[in-house]
Structure 1
Amino acid sequence: MQPNWLAQRSYLTPNRIGLSFDEQQWTFQELHQEAICMAEKLATFHVNHGDRVAILAPSRPELIMMIYGCMHAQLEMVFLNGRLSEHELQYQIEDADVKAILVHEQELHKLQADARILTFNTVLTAERTPINIAQEWDDTTTISIMYTSGTTGFPKGVRQTVQNHSSSAISSALNLGLKEDDVWLCTVPIFHISGFSILIRSLLYGMTVRLYEKFGAAKCANEIAQGSVTKMSVVAVMLERILTYMEEHKLVAHPNFTTMLLGGGPVPVDYLKRAAILNLRVAQTYGMTETSSQTATLSNEDAMRKIGSAGKPLFFNHIKIEGATKPGEEGEICIRGPHVTPGYIGKFAERAATEDGWLKTGDIGYLDEEGYLYVIDRRSDLIISGGENIYPAEIENILMAHPNVKEAGVCGIDDDVWGQVPVAFVVVKQPISEESLLDFCQERLASYKLPKNIKFIDTLPRNGSNKLLRRKLKDIL
C-alpha cells in the first residue's frame, strides 16, 4: 500500500507551492482542496471508484485539477492526445470502453458527438456529492492509461499503476538528485508520459511544477538563464531551439538550473557540445510508455565522457541485451523492474507485456564494458519526429484503406527541423493524385503523421516471406 499522494503531500508540506502557471500559483493544500471538490462533482455524474474515464484537454491548470480530482476519486485515466485525428481519438475511446469523456471546451470540436461527454465547465458547475477519499492506494491499482502505437498499426492502451509511477519517480530522484527548492519546467504535453511523470514527481518530492500550455524557446531560455526553474524535460528539437535562442541573445544557464532531461530519440552530438558551452547540463535518457518514463539516464558527470549513451539503468531497473554475450554486442533491449507495465487494455488485453519478467522493447542497442546503454535504433522501422513516435504501419493502414491503393510502405527520412519525417510509397489500383491521397490521410491522421511526400512505384521491396522491407524504401529515394 502507498499513501494517497496528494493527500500525503498536502499534509507534509501544505504551504509549499505545487503548481505555477503564468502569474498564478497554488500550494499543495490548495491543490488538495480543489481535487476533493472535483472528485465530489464527478460523483454527482455517477463517475465512481474504479471507473475508467478519458481526458482531453490542453496543458492548463484546469487539467491538473481534473487529474488530481480523478486520483482522489480513484478513477483510471485514459489520456487522449489532442493532436490526433477524430478517427484516431474515437478508436481509443471505444477501445478503452470509458464511462465518461472529460473534455475541455476548446477541444470539444475534435470529438464525435457522444452521450458520455462531460465538458470541464459542466463538471465545474455541478453540485458536490460527498465521497470517501481513500488515504491509501494499492500498489497494483491502475492510475493512468496511455496509448502507444505498435507494429500492428493499432495503438495499444498501456496500463500504468501506482507502483509503476512511484518506482519511476523514486529512481529518477536517486539519479538526478533532489533539492527543496526544485522547480520543474513542464512544457511537454501532460498526455505524454514525459509530462504526466512530472506531476507524479511533484507529489512525491514536494516539488513545484512550472506549467506552460505550449513550448516557447524564448520564454524557456529566459527562465533557465534567470534561474527561476531548476529542471526541464525536452526532446531534441526543443533543445536545439533553446540553444539557438540562448546563443543569439548571449545567455547562459543559471547555476540554479541543474538538469535538462533529454529523451524522445537520438541526439546530435553537436547539441551536447553547444549545451556544454552554455553551462546547460543535459542528461540523456531512455524510456517508453510501458516503463512509465525513464529506464536509463546518463548522469551529468558522464555527459561528455559517454556522448551518445543513454546511461545506466536507474536504481530499481535492469537492462539486458537479448542474445549478447559480451560488451558492445548489439541486440534487442530488454527491461525489467517495478516500473514496467503489467499489461494492456482493450484489443490487446490478452497480450502479455513481458516474457519471464522482461519487457522486450523491439529497440536495438548494446551495453559497453562499463554497463552504459547505447540505443542504436528506436525499433528498426520507428520514425521519431520532434519527439513523437510514428509507426509506419499506422500510416500504411490508412493509405491502404483508400479504394485506389493496392499496397503502401512508409519509412522515415532525415529532416533538419523534426529529426525525421515520414515518406510514403504507394502501388495503386487506379490512378490517383498525391494531393487526393494526402487529403484522405489528413482526415484520419494527426498532422505530424502525414507523409511529407507520396511516391508512386510499381512494386514494393519484399523478402522471400513477402514481408515488406521498409529499410529498402530509403534506397529507392
Structure 2
Amino acid sequence: MSGRAALAFEEREYTAARLDALAAGLAGTLARRGVRAGDRVALMASNRPEFVVAVRAVWRLGAAVVLFSPSWKRGEAEHALKVTEPSHAVGDHPLLAGLMPMLHLDEEPVRPSNAAFPELAPDTDALLVFSSGTTGLPKAVRHTHASFGAAVRNWRATLELTARDRIQIATPPSHILGLLNIETALQTGAWMRLHRRYDLDLLLWTIESDRITVEMAVAPIALAIASHPELESFDLSSLRYIMWGATPVTPEIAETVTRRTGVGWVPAYGASELPVIACNPVSGARLDSVGRAAPGVELRVVSLETGEPAGPGETGEIQARSDSLMAGYLPAEATAAAFDGGWYRTGDVGHIDEGGWVRLTDRAKEMIKVRGFQVAPAEVEAVLHGHPAVADCAVYGVPDGANGEAVVAAVAADGPVDPGELIALVGDRLASYKRPSEVVLVEEIPRLPSGKVLRRLLKERHGSTAGG
C-alpha cells in the first residue's frame, strides 16, 4: 500500500509515505528556524501539495497551524495576526511575507527526511481557523488534536468513506471543510486530487477521467453544474453521491442535477466550531433536511424565549455537543457566549422531529453566509465607518439564490456620498466575497435603546422595497 498514490496535483502524484517524508523534512527546517512545541505558525498558501505538507510539518513539532485565507487583504491578515500572535510563518503569499518573516514554500526546496518526532498530546492545539462566531469581528476557532481528530472520524463515518473512494478538492484548504476533506482522505487511505483553483469544466472532466466517487459542492458549484449546457456529455457514473454543504440546499437545483446525471445528493451541516453537526444518510438522503445528528454528535433544540430544552418539532436554537467541539475562541473572552452549559450554541434556528431529522428555518446569528463563506457585519461596518461621509451604517444579508446571501449595507450619510465609492472601499480592504452588492442610503439606522441594530427591520424594509 505504501507505493499507492494518495494525492494527485496536476501531473504530480504523492504516496502517503512521500508526504510523510516531506513533512518530516519541512519540520526539520522549521525547527532550525526556531519553531517549538506550543508555538503558533501562520500558514498562507494557495491550493497545492505543499500546503498539506506544511500543515503536517507544523503538527510534527507539536505546534499549531493558524490558517490564513489567500483571499484576505492586508487589514484582515493584520487582524488575524493580532488575535493569534503566531511566532512563525510559512506559505507562498507575499502579503504574509510583508507582515512577518515567512519561510517561502518556493524559495527553499523541501527535502524528504525519515526523522522521528514525539507523539502529539491530544489536548494541545492543532489548528486555528477563523470564524465570525456569533457577532463581531472574526474570531480564531481553536481545535486540539483530539477535537479535530474526532471531526475527521465523524466525517469519515458520515460519508461512509473507505480506501476505495476517490475525491477531489477545489475549495480552499484554508477553510475548515477543505482541510477536513484532505485529512479525512489521507487518514482513510482514499485517493485525492487537489486542484489549484476552481474550474467547473475541469472538475467535471476529472470526475470522468479519475473516476471520482464522492464529489463535494457548495451552492454556486451546484448551480453551475445544474446550468452547464453540456453536462450530459460528461460521464459522471462513478459518483456515489454529491455532498451539499455550507449553505441550505436549493431543491430545484439539486433535482435538476439528479435528473440530468442520475447522481443524488447528501446534504450536510457543520460549522468551524463543530465541523460535522448533522448529515443525511448516504442511502435515503432527502433535500428538505440537513439530516440527523452526525456520528458522535448530540443535538437539542432550546426555546428562544425561555432557554429551556424544546420538545420534538418545536422551534428554537439548535445546540450541539461532541468530542469534535472546539476548545474555544481567541480572543478567549469571546468563548463563554458560544456555550450553554457545555452545549455549543450554533445560532441557527430550527426544529428536530421525532425521527431526529433536523430542519433549519432561520439564523439567530448576525453573520452572513456568502457562497459558504462567513461574513461578519461588524467587519464590513468598521471599514465603512472609515469613510468621512458615513455617519452610521449597518450591514445585513438578503437571500441571493444559490449564493446563499448577498451583503447589503445601509448607510446614513453626513453629506453626498456615492454608493459605488463605498462598495469599492470595502473591496479594497476586505476579501471580495465581503464586498456589499448594494449600498442603501437611509435617513437613520434603526437601533434599540441599547444601541443594538435592528437588522431584521432593515431586511424587511429591503424586501418590501425590492418587491415594490
Query: TM (normalized to structure 1)?
Result: 0.89
2:300 counterpart of 1:320: yes
For the residues of structure 1 that align with 2:335 and 2:397, how far apart are their CA atoms?
Answer: 31
Give 1:342 deviation, angstroms: 1.2
Among 60, 73, 77, the alignment partner of 1:72 is: 60
Residues 153 and 397 in structure 1, CA contact (< 8 A), matched pair in contact too:
no
What does residue 90 of structure 2 align with?
A: 102
What does residue 220 of structure 2 align with?
A: 237
2:106 counterpart of 1:121: yes
Residues 381 and 471 in structure 1, CA contact (< 8 A), matched pair in contact too:
no
Residues 18 and 112 in structure 2, CA contact (< 8 A), matched pair in contact too:
no
Residues 16 and 206 in structure 1, CA contact (< 8 A), matched pair in contact too:
no
Among 276, 290, 295, the alignment partner of 1:310 is: 290
What does residue 28 of structure 2 align with?
A: 40
Structure 2 SS opposite 1:173: helix
Give 1:155 deviation, angstroms: 1.0
Structure 2 SS opposite 1:157: strand
For the residues of structure 2 that align with 1:248 and 1:443, how far apart are their CA atoms?
Answer: 36
What does residue 224 of structure 1 align with?
A: 207
Residues 86 and 112 in structure 1, CA contact (< 8 A), matched pair in contact too:
no
For the residues of structure 2 that align with 1:218 and 1:34, how far apart are their CA atoms?
Answer: 31
Give 1:418 deviation, angstroms: 2.4
Between stretches 435-444 and 265-274, larger displacement belongs to: 435-444
What does residue 290 of structure 1 align with?
A: 273
Among 281, 293, 313, the alignment partner of 1:299 is: 281
The equivalences for 1:161-172 within 5 A come to 161-172=144-155
Structure 2 SS opposite 1:14: coil
Give 1:318 deviation, angstroms: 0.5
Evaluate the alpha carbon distance shift between residue 227 and residue 32 of structure 1 in structure 2; reply closer, same or farther with a 3 A threshold: closer
CA deviations over 1:184-237 (Å, ceiling 9, x no partner): 211111000110001221232112221011111112122334562111222111
Q: What is the CA RMSD across the aligned residues, in angstroms?
A: 2.3
Evaluate the alpha carbon distance shift between residue 116 and residue 131 of structure 1 in structure 2; reply closer, same or farther with a 3 A threshold: farther
Among 443, 454, 468, the alignment partner of 1:469 is: 454
Residues 225 and 257 in structure 2, CA contact (< 8 A), matched pair in contact too:
no
CA deviations over 1:260-302 (Å, ceiling 9, x no partner): 22111111111221232222221100100001x2111012333
What does residue 10 of structure 1 align with?
A: none
2:172 counterpart of 1:198: no
What does residue 371 of structure 1 align with?
A: 356
Give 1:307 deviation, angstroms: 2.3
Evaluate the alpha carbon distance shift between residue 472 and residue 289 of structure 1 in structure 2; reply closer, same or farther with a 3 A threshold: same
Between stretches 45-54 and 318-327, larger displacement belongs to: 318-327
What does residue 50 of structure 1 align with?
A: 38
Q: Which amino acid aligns with 2:298?
A: H
Query: TM (normalized to structure 2)?
Result: 0.91
For the residues of structure 1 that align with 2:377 and 2:337, how far apart are their CA atoms?
Answer: 23
2:255 counterpart of 1:273: yes
For the residues of structure 2 that align with 1:111 and 1:173, how far apart are their CA atoms?
Answer: 33
Give 1:437 deviation, angstroms: 2.1
Evaluate the alpha carbon distance shift between residue 61 and residue 361 of structure 1 in structure 2; reply closer, same or farther with a 3 A threshold: same
Residues 17 and 207 in structure 1, CA contact (< 8 A), matched pair in contact too:
no
Percent identical pairs in the alignment equals: 27
Residues 135 and 365 in structure 2, CA contact (< 8 A), matched pair in contact too:
no
Between stretches 348-357 and 154-163, larger displacement belongs to: 348-357
Evaluate the alpha carbon distance shift between residue 325 and residue 464 of structure 1 in structure 2; reply closer, same or farther with a 3 A threshold: same
CA deviations over 1:84-141 (Å, ceiling 9, x no partner): 211011110121111112120xx20x3473343222234537x99997512x322212
CA deviations over 1:306-346 (Å, ceiling 9, x no partner): 32201011121001011353322111110101010011224
Between stretches 173-182 and 244-253, larger displacement belongs to: 244-253
Corresponding residue pairs, total: 456
Q: Which runs of 5+ in 1 are unaligned?
A: 1-12
Evaluate the alpha carbon distance shift between residue 164 and residue 451 of structure 1 in structure 2; reply closer, same or farther with a 3 A threshold: same
Give 1:36 deviation, angstroms: 0.9
Among 441, 445, 460, the alignment partner of 2:426 is: 441
What does residue 407 of structure 1 align with?
A: 392
Evaluate the alpha carbon distance shift between residue 100 and residue 358 of structure 1 in structure 2; reply closer, same or farther with a 3 A threshold: same
Among 129, 133, 148, the alignment partner of 2:117 is: 133
Among 164, 170, 173, the alignment partner of 1:181 is: 164
Structure 1 SS opposite 2:263: coil
For the residues of structure 1 that align with 2:365 and 2:68, how far apart are their CA atoms?
Answer: 26
Between stretches 375-384 and 180-189, larger displacement belongs to: 375-384
Residues 38 and 62 in structure 2, CA contact (< 8 A), matched pair in contact too:
yes
Give 1:76 deviation, angstroms: 0.4
Give 1:466 deviation, angstroms: 4.2
Residues 392 and 409 in structure 1, CA contact (< 8 A), matched pair in contact too:
yes
Residues 21 and 112 in structure 2, CA contact (< 8 A), matched pair in contact too:
no
Structure 1 SS opposite 2:128: strand
Evaluate the alpha carbon distance shift between residue 463 and residue 46 of structure 1 in structure 2; reply closer, same or farther with a 3 A threshold: closer
Structure 2 SS opposite 1:366: strand
Q: Which amino acid aligns with 1:295?
A: I
Q: Which amino acid aligns with 1:399?
A: L
What does residue 466 of structure 2 align with?
A: none
Q: Which runs of 5+ in 2 are unaligned?
A: 304-308, 463-468
The equivalences for 1:387-406 within 5 A come to 387-406=372-391
What does residue 384 of structure 1 align with?
A: 369
Q: Which amino acid aligns with 2:117?
A: I
For the residues of structure 1 that align with 2:229 and 2:4, how far apart are their CA atoms?
Answer: 31
Q: Which amino acid aligns with 1:388?
A: F
Residues 198 and 209 in structure 1, CA contact (< 8 A), matched pair in contact too:
no
Evaluate the alpha carbon distance shift between residue 317 and residue 250 of structure 1 in structure 2; reply closer, same or farther with a 3 A threshold: same
For the residues of structure 2 that align with 1:73 and 1:364, how far apart are their CA atoms?
Answer: 41
Structure 2 SS opposite 1:275: helix
Among 324, 331, 335, the alignment partner of 1:339 is: 324
For the residues of structure 2 that align with 1:462 and 1:88, how far apart are their CA atoms?
Answer: 27
For the residues of structure 1 that align with 2:287 and 2:256, how far apart are their CA atoms?
Answer: 13
What does residue 257 of structure 1 align with?
A: 239
Structure 1 SS opposite 2:99: coil
Give 1:371 deviation, angstroms: 0.8
Q: Which amino acid aligns with 2:250?
A: P
Among 89, 101, 115, the alignment partner of 2:77 is: 89
